[in-house]
Amino acid sequence: MLAMYGGNIGLDQAEAMLISKIAQAHGGKTLSGDKDTIGQLPMDGIPIAAITCRPRQVAALVRFADEICEHASRAGRHHIAAGTLPDHNKLFHYYASSVRGAVCIPNGCFKLHLAINTKYLLASYPLPPDAAGVSAEKYLIDDVLDRIVKLDCERRYCNQFLDPGLQTNELDVCIELMEDREERPSIWVLAEVDRYSFRIPAKEGYPGAQDAWRDGMPELKGLTLAGRAKEGWKK
């Protein structure tokens, strides 16, 4: 049907090739091994039909948007509640279910709000096997912080190709630790037992994420929080 009405993008080689190049810049490395995949795209101002396309800005927008799109709506809530998640999927779905908000505000700050149930902090979870078939394990909070490091790294990288009005200047992160509590007989609520709030200011450069902000929160580690959770969560 698309081909009948001239809507088959495969018939427009110029546009198809440009989209392909933008998609290839979504991550990984170039053929020469360079991590600066967006920087290898054609210079801004490529004419396509009656418009001028800016491939670097499009690639940066798509790449950063993909980085921030994981939130509670993408979690398998039914499987979480039923306890039927495959082991190798638990980390992602527990993380996604914890993201309460991820939004850019007008001053160029990106706000990330997580609420993590302490029952998910008790144990480590297997990662998908690597190329050699070996599967390591990881605690949820360690995975959360690693994802924040990657988010900041991608934010700084994509900023290089975005107009000033589209750039994010810093990350504002809030991590709430929540515990199931019986408020009344058979009435359970989530109660906050601890909270960590911090900002990651603007930095230049990519790759090599700078995560010195983690040094100020030595207690925010998998083994440490697992121990606190097992003890009944005392501050």
pLDDT score, position 12? 62
* 101 and 162 belong to one structural domain: yes
* 167 and 53 belong to one structural domain: no
* 109 and 217 belong to one structural domain: yes
CA-CA-CA-CA dihedral for 113, 71, 135, 118, to nearest 10: 50
Sign of CA dihedral 111, 115, 118, 124: negative
Residue 199 and residue 173: Cα distance in Å, rounded?
Answer: 6
Give Cβ neighbours of residue 180 (< 8 Å, ≥ 6 apart). 117, 119, 188, 189, 190, 191
Would you say 118 and 226 are in contact if contact means Cβ atoms under 8 Å apart? no
**Confidence class for position 130, pLDDT limits 50, 70, 90:** confident
In a domain, 118, yes or no: yes
Average pLDDT over residues 170-182: 86
* 76 and 41 belong to one structural domain: no
* 27 and 85 belong to one structural domain: no
* 91 and 207 belong to one structural domain: yes
In which domain, by residue range, is 93 found?
72-230
Please give the tally of structural domains in the chain: 2
* 93 and 203 belong to one structural domain: yes
Residue 109 and residue 170: Cα distance in Å, rounded?
Answer: 5
In a domain, 2, yes or no: no
**In this predicted model, what pLDDT tens digit does every residue of 1-55 receive, in sequence order?**
445 545 555 556 777 888 888 888 888 888 888 888 999 888 777 887 778 889 9
Give Cβ neighbours of residue 176 (< 8 Å, ≥ 6 apart). 113, 114, 115, 116, 192, 194, 195
